[in-house]
Amino acid sequence: MPAVVISNGNAVDFGGKITYYVILCAVVAATGGLMFGYDIGISGGVTSMDDFLLKFFPVVYAKKHHAKENNYCKYDNQFLQLFTSSLYLAALVASFIASRTCSNYGRKLTLQMASLFFLSGVALNAGAINLTMLILGRILLGIGVGFANQAAPLFLSEMAPVKYRGALNILFQLNVTIGILFANIINYFVANIHPQGWRIALGIAGIPATLLFVGSLLITETPTSLIERQKLTEGLNTLKKIRGIDNVTAEYDELVLASEMARQVKHPYRNLMKRKSRPQLVIAIAMQVFQQFTGINAIMFYAPVLFQTVGFKSDASLMSSAIVGTINVLSTIVSVVGVDRVGRRVLLLEACVQMLVTQVAIGAILTIDLKDTGDLPKSVALWVVVCVCLYVMSFAWSWGPLGWLIPSETFPLETRTAGYSFAVSSNMLMTFLIAQAFLSMLCTMRAGVFFFFAAWVVVMCLFVIFFLPETKNIPIDEMTERVWKQHWFWKRFMEDEDDIQVAKFQMAQ
Ligand code: BGC
pLDDT (tens digit per residue) in 455-467: 999 999 999 999 9
Residue 203: other Cβ atoms inside 10 A = 17
**Is 180 near ligand 1, meaning CB less than 6 Å away?**
yes
Decide: helix, strand or coil at residue 11. strand
Whether the Cβ atoms of residue 336 and residue 167 lie closer than 8 Å to each other:
yes
Q: What is the pTM for the complete model shown?
A: 0.88
Q: How far apart are CA 261 and CA 148, in angstroms?
A: 26
Among 297, 327, 399, 425, residue to substitute to test ligand 1 (most atoms within 8 Å of Cβ):
297
| Domain range enclosing 503 | 19-508
The count of structural domains within the chain is: 1
**Is 328 near ligand 1, meaning CB less than 6 Å away?**
yes
Residue 11 in any domain: the answer is no
Whether the Cβ atoms of residue 261 and residue 412 lie closer than 8 Å to each other:
no
Q: How far apart are CA 414 and CA 503, in angstroms?
A: 12
- How far is ligand 1, taken at its centre, from the CA of residue 108, in Å? 23
Give pLDDT tens digits along the chain (509 positions): 333 333 334 445 666 678 999 999 999 999 999 999 999 889 878 988 899 999 998 888 887 776 456 666 766 677 777 788 889 999 999 988 998 898 889 999 999 999 999 999 999 999 999 999 999 999 999 999 999 998 998 888 788 877 777 778 889 999 999 999 999 899 888 988 999 999 999 999 999 999 999 999 999 999 988 988 889 999 999 999 999 999 999 889 888 887 887 788 778 788 889 898 999 999 999 999 999 999 998 787 667 667 776 667 767 777 777 888 899 999 999 988 888 788 889 999 999 999 999 999 998 988 887 766 666 777 788 888 899 999 999 999 999 999 988 988 888 777 877 888 899 999 999 988 887 787 788 788 888 889 999 999 999 999 999 999 998 877 666 778 889 999 999 999 987 655 555 555 555 65
Those residues with Cβ within 8 angstroms of residue 231's Cβ, 6 or more apart along the chain or in another chain: none
Give the model's pLDDT for residue 27. Answer: 92
Picking from 91, 124, 97, 120, the residue whose alpha carbon sits closest to that of residue 109 is: 97
Backbone angles phi, psi at 23, to 5 degrees: -65, -45
DSSP state of 164: G
Give the model's pLDDT for residue 14. Answer: 62
User: Rounded to a whole number, what is the distance in angstroms from the first to the last CA of the chain?
Assistant: 24
Picking from 327, 444, 462, the residue whose alpha carbon sits closest to that of residue 395 is: 327
- How far is ligand 1, taken at its centre, from the CA of residue 176, in Å? 7
Give the model's pLDDT for residue 1. Answer: 33
Give the model's pLDDT for residue 26. Answer: 92
Residue 130 in any domain: the answer is yes
Q: How far apart are CA 420 and CA 407, in angstroms?
A: 6
Give the model's pLDDT for residue 156. Answer: 86
Residue 4 in any domain: the answer is no
**Is 112 near ligand 1, meaning CB less than 6 Å away?**
no
DSSP assignment of 278-340 equals HHHHHHHHHHHHHHHHTTHHHHHHHHHHHHHHTT--HHHHHHHHHHHHHHHHHHHHHHHHHTT
Residue 149 in any domain: the answer is yes
Picking from 327, 341, 362, 304, the residue whose alpha carbon sits closest to that of residue 472 is: 341
List of long-range contacts for 355-358, beta carbons under 8 Å, 24+ apart: 355/294, 355/391, 355/394, 355/395, 355/454, 355/457, 356/454, 356/457, 356/458, 356/461, 358/387, 358/388, 358/390, 358/391, 358/394
**Is 297 near ligand 1, meaning CB less than 6 Å away?**
yes
Whether the Cβ atoms of residue 113 and residue 147 lie closer than 8 Å to each other:
yes
For residue 503, what is the domain's CATH number?
A: 1.20.1250.20
Indicate the burial class of 298 (C-beta count within 10 angstroms; 0-12, 13-18, 19 or more): buried
Q: Over the stretch 60-113, which tens digit does the pLDDT of each residue have? A: 888 777 645 666 676 667 777 778 888 999 999 998 899 889 888 999 999 999
- How far is ligand 1, taken at its centre, from the CA of residue 142, in Å? 15
Those residues with Cβ within 8 angstroms of residue 268's Cβ, 6 or more apart along the chain or in another chain: 262, 414, 415, 417, 418
Backbone angles phi, psi at 11, to 5 degrees: -135, 140
The residue count of the chain comes to 509
**Is 177 near ligand 1, meaning CB less than 6 Å away?**
yes
Residue 3 in any domain: the answer is no
Residue 316 in any domain: the answer is yes
Residue 195 in any domain: the answer is yes
Beta bridge partners of 318: none
Q: How far apart are CA 287 and CA 285, in angstroms?
A: 5
Which residue type is seen at 242?
Answer: I
Q: Return the H-helix or E-strand segment holding 7.
A: strand 5-7
Question: Using CA positions, which residue lies closest to atom 4 of ligand 1?
Answer: 400
Question: Using CA positions, which residue lies closest to atom 1 of ligand 1?
Answer: 400
Whether the Cβ atoms of residue 34 and residue 211 lie closer than 8 Å to each other:
yes
- How far is ligand 1, taken at its centre, from the CA of residue 246, in Å? 39
Which residue type is seen at 166?
Answer: G
Residue 7 in any domain: the answer is no
Torsion, Cα of 221, 227, 230, 232 (10° steps): 90
CA atoms within a 13 Å half-sphere pointing along the CA-CB vector of 457: 27
DSSP assignment of 433-462 equals HHHHHHHHHHHHHTTHHHHHHHHHHHHHHH
Picking from 382, 429, 407, the residue whose alpha carbon sits closest to that of residue 479 is: 407
Indicate the burial class of 244 (C-beta count within 10 angstroms; 0-12, 13-18, 19 or more): middle
- How far is ligand 1, taken at its centre, from the CA of residue 37, in Å? 8
